[in-house]
Amino acid sequence: MGLLFDDFKSWKQYCLAHNLSLATPVLQYEIEQKGRTEQEIWTGLQMAYTVMKDAVHTGLTEDTTSRSGMIDNGGKKVYRHAINVLSPEFKKLIARALAAKEVNSCMGRIVAAPTAGASGIMPGILVTLQEQHDISDAQMLEAMLVSAGIALIIERNASIAGAVGGCQAETGTAAAMGAGAIVYALNGTIDQVFNAVAITIQCMLGLVCDPVAGLVEVPCVVRNASASAIAYSSAQIALANVNAVIPVDECIIAMGEIGQAMEERYKETALGGLAMTPTGQQIAKKVLISDIDILEQ
Ligand code: SF4
């Protein structure tokens, strides 16, 4: 029986005891728990990565205006804008995360990694990382396996759903998955990978889920961009061996505790935060009226 991904500590111990990379126990888990062959898993990962790349491409080349009008081609606007605040790579990261998430807001095809609300983060990170460092697809797929292991542990000990743990659970988990994947793909040590996850979680703790009009658009799309940036900065910090101080498992416990204490109005109910601002409520009314008009036609 392989590892069950109860916590990061046992993942590390298992890898050290069996002289394995972080990705191998995740592969074993998928084979044992889901009854899939190794080839099926690699094929599935390749397909998922292709969908992620396609979502980035679609978001950067096709119209991404959402039905509510709140989302309006933000990825393309950032990608093409003449004034650069960020380095070219950083700007691409942000534009790609926005673009892929906008495809989701426009009902396009995405990979929910770990959820649809956070579906721009992993594509933005993986596509940018691969381009920056000329990493092979095979290495990227291994990094995606490590991301899956990270998500398994967070799901088990906290949550990956905004309705349960707030946005920290959704975009926070995706950012942690991305940070771990970056460090792994750049040949970081186990401690560096886990440190990147810990630092990311520390930066995302407490973020509430407050989608305007209950649509996964505002602030979701821009949070995909900021979460990608946090993943990148955390990976950079961890690779430089800056210690997160609070061990990763304890960071996840803190995330779970904060999620439990969070009021219901901050858990995807659209009853608090940005959703309850005057503008947020006006938009919700308009969305409701247009939905009723469509139903009556
Ligand atoms: S605000 Fe809520 S719905 Fe939007 S991305 Fe965050 S968790 Fe998901």
CA nearest to 274, candidates 222, 213, 212, 216: 212
Asked whether the beta carbons of 189 and 156 are under 8 A apart, the reply is no
CA-based radius of gyration for the chain: 19
Q: How far apart are CA 275 and CA 265, in angstroms?
A: 10
CA 103 to chain centre: 15
Asked if residue 51 belongs to a domain, the reply is: yes
Atom of ligand 1 nearest to the CA of 169: 7
Tens digit of each residue's pLDDT (9 = 90 or more) over 78-131? 999 999 999 999 999 999 999 999 999 999 999 999 999 999 999 999 999 999
CB of 220 closer than 6 angstroms to any ligand 1 atom: yes
Which of 171, 208, 258, 277 most suits a substitution to test ligand 1, by most atoms within 8 Å of the C-beta? 171
122 burial (CB, 10 Å; 0-12 / 13-18 / 19+) is buried
Asked if residue 3 belongs to a domain, the reply is: no
CATH number for position 149: 1.10.4100
Spacing, Cα 97 to ligand 1 middle (Å): 15
> If you write DSSP's letter for every residue of 159-179 in order, what string do you get?
-S-HHHH-HHHHHHHHHHHHH
Asked if residue 122 belongs to a domain, the reply is: yes
Q: How far apart are CA 235 and CA 240, in angstroms?
A: 9
Q: In sequence order, which residues have a C-beta less than 8 Å from that of residue 88 and are 6 or more positions away?
A: none
Task: Tell me the pLDDT of the chain (297 aa) as tens digits.
Answer: 789 999 999 999 999 999 999 999 999 999 999 999 999 999 999 999 999 999 999 999 999 999 999 999 999 999 999 999 999 999 999 999 999 999 999 999 999 999 999 999 999 999 999 999 999 999 999 999 999 999 999 999 999 999 999 999 999 999 999 999 999 999 999 999 999 999 999 999 999 999 999 999 999 999 999 999 999 999 999 999 999 999 999 999 999 999 999 999 999 999 999 999 999 999 999 998 877 777 776
Domain with 253, as residue range(s), is: 8-296
How many structural domains are present in the chain?
1
Asked if residue 2 belongs to a domain, the reply is: no
